Structure 1
Amino acid sequence: MKLSAQQTHTEPGLTGRQPLQVEARSIDYVPLTERHGKVWHQGLFWFTGQFVPTTMVVGFIGPAMGLSIGWSVLASVLGVLIGTCFMAFHANQGPAMGLPQMIQSRAQFGVRGAIVPMLAVVFVYVGFSTFGVLLGTQAIQTVLPGPGWLWGLVIVGLATVLATVGYDLVHLVLRWLPYVVVPIFAVLTVLALADLEPAAAAAPAGFTGAAFLAQFTAAIGYQLSYAVYVSDYSRYLPRTTPARKVIGYTYAGAALSALWLMPLGTFIAGSVPAADAMSNLRDIGDGLFPGFGAAAVLILLAPTAIALMSVSLYGSMLSGISIVHSFRPIPLNRTARAAGILITAVLIYVVSQGLPVEYLGSYNDFITLMLLVLAPWTAVNLVDYYFVRRGRYAIAELFNANGLYGRWGTRGLVSYAAGVVALLPFVTTNFYTGPMVAVLGGADIAFLVGLAVPALVYAALTRGFDPATELPAITASRTLLDGDPA
């Protein structure tokens, strides 16, 4: 089996000694000599990554459907606790494999077949960023004059700069941003709890199964959507980083911010005539003194929208380069990185300018669609990593279309397709409702089906697989990449 170093990287990457240099690496392997960072940084990074207004908006869904505040909060908490598990267990793949999240899917789907989940992931990146541009633009316009297209351009431009500089700068910004935004959000939270009075729920006793499941599903889907990002931002950690620590810090950071903001969003939505993140937060803040609300919204939402968009731009670049590289090998250098980021930035800006300001309905459907495309992928990926191959991969072969993992991974693709097909009858959105939804009294259990079916199918298709057959390729790959067969 022929392994080629050229297929893994062409330029040296960044190191811990020069954290603000423009990153060179993209989808290529991070050698052990370039690993750096502290595992607890993952906690701060993902706390900030979730500490954005879109997280709060998820909490609006239950009250909008007549669910009481108490039931909505319970649904969100359960959804966060479960959904974050799937996200956090991907974190260990970064230091173990030294690769971005989605390129790892080549082991299950094939070097070219991995474009199927990658295209779905690009949809997630663009969607998240689009809503972030809308919220950030509204935040700026509460304080500063100027057309929305101009402020949207500023947000996209700053996010593009962050993503282009790359891994260490994005980590640095998200690690320090909590010291700015957390105190302000804490004040707004106290003001909201003190000044707002919850309204009566529209539904009898404030509960319906369909509304509870809608809020529960939204919380799971939102947390699960971050699974596609995780290893992108842990892959520079040393390979010896304990799995329990990287998983634990990732889980704690992502869960804590969601457990704060989603219930806060629910409380606000259940206490005001019309739930709108911008105006609600501004009005709450002005209860302290006039003008504080508008300033708080600007300080909170504009920086976090820019930071999170840079995370999405970075991830979309990785997936985009991987898609192109799987069909036509290209130099994995700074030029390719910058081009991938710029193309996605332009796409996000164009889409954001075409969406209506009243985005809540579209946002709910977006979260549902994320579940549809991501749940089957995460099931296949985690089953393969933890139960089939148990974390042992021939990294160099992931860049070889004619190598160990092949061009098209039939088992992964069949399992993914089975998951999508199986969950379709259980999906409910504003534009499509599956036939099983009425049978279940309006309940949406698509996420359960989308996780269970592909996991079972992939486990069945890989039954009898002996990971020992790949050990020679794994040893050769480690020797080639690090001179370290251990």
Structure 2
Amino acid sequence: MAGAELAGLAADRRRPRATEVEQHGIGTIPDAERSSRPFDLFRIQFGGANTFATVILGTFPVLLGLSLVQAVLATVVGVLVGALFLMPMGLFGPRTGTNNAVSSGAHFGVRGRVLGSFLSLLTAFAFYSISVWVSGDALVGASTRLFGTGDSDLLRGVIYALLGALVIVVVVYGYQFMLLVNKVVVVANTVLILLGVVAYASVFDLGYDPGPGAYALGSFWPTFVLSALIVMGNPVSFGAFLGDWARYIPRGTSTGRLLLATLGAQLATLVPFLFGVATATLVAGEVDYVFALIQASPIWYAVLLMVVAFLGGMSTGITSLYGTGLDFSSVFPRLSRVQASLVIGAVAFVFILVGRLVFDLLASVNAFVGLIVICTTPWMVIMAIGYWVRRGHYDAADLQVFNEGRRGGRYWATAGTNWRGMAAWVPSAVAGLLFANYPPLIAGPLRDVAGGVDLSLLVSIGLAAVIYVALLFAFPEPRYVFGPDGPRLVPAADLPLPPVVDDPRASAHRTGRRGAQPQAPEPTSAPAPTGGDQR
């Protein structure tokens, strides 16, 4: 492309105002509207995790009985391992122009990609709930300390409702407003959290160690592994959502820059994680970490914690809820993005009230994080392998056929489901649950085969990788799903490309509503080779 044409394209890209309600659903984002950069991907990830929700996950290693040094090591391991699995998930959006659940249709089928929608829903409920729970509790604790309001279920419920409603308002406005909020949170919460070094300097104990008798699972290694897995749940939770934001990054953006944006964002989350580790040692043994920490804080820092809680609750809640509302507007075609966001938000708020006021918070968090790690990680592994063998080649138009009430195309596979991906994911997730040990709510029958060390992650990702690669060799995919350079390493089958036709069973209004959204019909890279692969 000539320099003048590139300059014109850049000039045509206009970043919408934050106060403009986003009109796009999961349809392909046109090139002219892809105004984000890899740095925006960094900011929105770090902003979404630079919150009290992440701080709470950081307290788990200490709550489970590790010493300060052991807890720090478990946290670093969890963040690094989780980041390595997460990094490839930022590559899909710029190439497909849509979110990761829809992009997964290339490997699970355009109907089978509903699995990604389910995983995003699971993650959204978990982290939206955690963010509102924890931030609400922090505000209750601070108001009790500062104004003597006292603690009650009614007060907590009112604050939960206010936080939850504010999150939904931002989600309704959409991506640009969410990006603005995260720009603020990245800077503000980092500064406020780092001020904790000053606030707790006189009472912090670098030698904190409750001793071997405190290990929650009876011995060091089982407790250490569980702690690292809980921490890992945070980066893994972004797997289903990175495409929500990366789809606004221009196609052709450097792969290295995208990978580094995600790695850098996850490494930056060590700020809130290690804040949680350090402060958990100050209130070890207390039932309510947030409430106890505020009571133990200098009065000036208790005030700042209210700001951290509010900004953090907004940021985590927004990044969790936005993607699910976006995706379920396609799964349930009667709902627009805004309507789907409102429905999911309302259901999630009911879950917040029941989960916080009826069940044990820590047990609920532990169980949800376990499900996210066990179920989402093998899905990410399959996606990453699929990306590699296809050399990052995707047809943006064919990924949208199900959303537009049509059928056929490159990713139709068998009745809309690619059984290769499904046949690899199902046994890996089930096996992971059998080996899982996230007490007290998740305790698989095979959890003790390694002396109590949780093998669920190794089992689930190992099975997913082995089964999926084996199926790609035993049952080659059609040549038309690969790019002009053909498949990498795996074989391909010469089969006719199914034509894209209207699906008579689809609701007539679906095509109309989707058709109103700007689409980019051209593929994301060079067209398929000539021959039997063409429509």
TM range, smaller chain: 0.7 to 0.9
Instruction: Please give the per-residue CA displacement for 1:370-409, whole angstroms capped at 9, x wherever unaligned.
Output: 1122112111111111x22121111111122333212111
1:190 aligned residue (186, 191, 198): 198
2:274 aligned residue (254, 263, 267): 263
2:396 equivalent in structure 1: 395
Whether 1:118 and 2:133 are equivalent positions in the alignment is: no
Shift, 1:465, TM fit: 3.8
Determine the C-alpha separation between the residues in 2 that align with 1:356 and 1:154.
16
- Tell me the TM-score normalised to structure 1 length: 0.87
1:233 equivalent in structure 2: 245
Taking every aligned residue pair, what percent have the same amino acid on both sides?
Answer: 23
Sort the Cα spacing of 1:261 and 1:391 in 2 relative to 1 into closer, same or farther, 3 A.
Answer: same
- Tell me the TM-score normalised to structure 2 length: 0.80
Name whichever of 172-181 and 194-203 sits farther off: 194-203
2:521 equivalent in structure 1: 480
1:301 aligned residue (309, 326, 345): 309
Higher helix share: 1
Structure 1 SS opposite 2:182: helix
2:15 equivalent in structure 1: 16
2:162 aligned residue (140, 147, 154): 154
2:353 equivalent in structure 1: 353
Determine the C-alpha separation between the residues in 2 that align with 1:310 and 1:451.
29
Aligned length: 458
Determine the C-alpha separation between the residues in 2 that align with 1:436 and 1:277.
32
Name whichever of 211-220 and 420-429 sits farther off: 420-429
Shift, 1:165, TM fit: 0.9
Sort the Cα spacing of 1:263 and 1:389 in 2 relative to 1 into closer, same or farther, 3 A.
Answer: same
Structure 1 segments unaligned to the other structure (5+ residues):
1-13
TM-align CA RMSD? 2.7
1:135 equivalent in structure 2: 134
2:458 equivalent in structure 1: 448
Letter in 2 for 1:316: T
Asked if 2 retains the 8 angstrom alpha-carbon contact of 1:422 and 1:449, the reply is: yes
2:48 equivalent in structure 1: 49
Determine the C-alpha separation between the residues in 2 that align with 1:56 and 1:468.
46
Asked if 2 retains the 8 angstrom alpha-carbon contact of 1:31 and 1:482, the reply is: no
Sort the Cα spacing of 1:438 and 1:160 in 2 relative to 1 into closer, same or farther, 3 A.
Answer: same
Asked if 2 retains the 8 angstrom alpha-carbon contact of 1:100 and 1:231, the reply is: yes
Structure 2 SS opposite 1:33: helix
Which protein has the larger Cα radius of gyration, Structure 1 or Structure 2?
Answer: 2
Instruction: Please give the per-residue CA displacement for 1:413-462, whole angstroms capped at 9, x wherever unaligned.
Output: 11111211221221113134223322211110211211121122111111
Instruction: Please give the per-residue CA displacement for 1:130-161, whole angstroms capped at 9, x wherever unaligned.
Output: 12111122222234457222222211111111
2:386 equivalent in structure 1: 384
Letter in 2 for 1:260: V
Sort the Cα spacing of 1:409 and 1:100 in 2 relative to 1 into closer, same or farther, 3 A.
Answer: same
Asked if 1 retains the 8 angstrom alpha-carbon contact of 2:66 and 2:209, the reply is: no
Determine the C-alpha separation between the residues in 1 that align with 2:265 and 2:71.
22
Letter in 2 for 1:274: E
Structure 2 SS opposite 1:444: coil
Q: What pairs with 1:70-81 in structure 2 (closer than 5 Å)?
A: 70-81=69-80
Structure 1 SS opposite 2:22: coil
Asked if 2 retains the 8 angstrom alpha-carbon contact of 1:388 and 1:465, the reply is: no
Shift, 1:23, TM fit: 0.7
Determine the C-alpha separation between the residues in 2 that align with 1:38 and 1:111.
28
Shift, 1:168, TM fit: 0.9
Structure 1 SS opposite 2:198: helix
Determine the C-alpha separation between the residues in 1 that align with 2:371 and 2:286.
25
Asked if 2 retains the 8 angstrom alpha-carbon contact of 1:388 and 1:467, the reply is: no
Shift, 1:126, TM fit: 1.0
1:3 equivalent in structure 2: none
Whether 1:322 and 2:323 are equivalent positions in the alignment is: no
1:7 equivalent in structure 2: none
Whether 1:415 and 2:424 are equivalent positions in the alignment is: yes
2:291 equivalent in structure 1: 279
Shift, 1:469, TM fit: 5.6
Instruction: Please give the per-residue CA displacement for 1:101-124, whole angstroms capped at 9, x wherever unaligned.
Output: 211111111122222232132021
Whether 1:221 and 2:233 are equivalent positions in the alignment is: yes
Shift, 1:280, TM fit: 4.2
Letter in 2 for 1:368: G
Structure 2 SS opposite 1:438: coil
Shift, 1:485, TM fit: 5.6
Greater relative contact order (CA < 8 Å, ≥ 6 in sequence): 1
Name whichever of 166-175 and 261-270 sits farther off: 261-270
Name whichever of 136-145 and 463-472 sits farther off: 463-472
Structure 2 SS opposite 1:436: coil
Instruction: Please give the per-residue CA displacement for 1:61-82, whole angstroms capped at 9, x wherever unaligned.
Output: 2222322221121111011011
Letter in 1 for 2:85: F
Structure 1 SS opposite 2:89: coil
2:321 equivalent in structure 1: 313
Determine the C-alpha separation between the residues in 2 that align with 1:483 and 1:204.
57
1:36 equivalent in structure 2: 35
1:426 aligned residue (416, 432, 435): 435
Asked if 1 retains the 8 angstrom alpha-carbon contact of 2:102 and 2:400, the reply is: no
Determine the C-alpha separation between the residues in 2 that align with 1:442 and 1:485.
50
Sort the Cα spacing of 1:152 and 1:175 in 2 relative to 1 into closer, same or farther, 3 A.
Answer: same
Asked if 2 retains the 8 angstrom alpha-carbon contact of 1:199 and 1:271, the reply is: no
Letter in 2 for 1:85: L
Structure 1 SS opposite 2:72: helix
Structure 1 SS opposite 2:90: coil
Asked if 1 retains the 8 angstrom alpha-carbon contact of 2:222 and 2:451, the reply is: yes
1:85 equivalent in structure 2: 84
Sort the Cα spacing of 1:459 and 1:176 in 2 relative to 1 into closer, same or farther, 3 A.
Answer: same
Instruction: Please give the per-residue CA displacement for 1:206-229, whole angstroms capped at 9, x wherever unaligned.
Output: 761110111111122221111111
2:104 equivalent in structure 1: 105
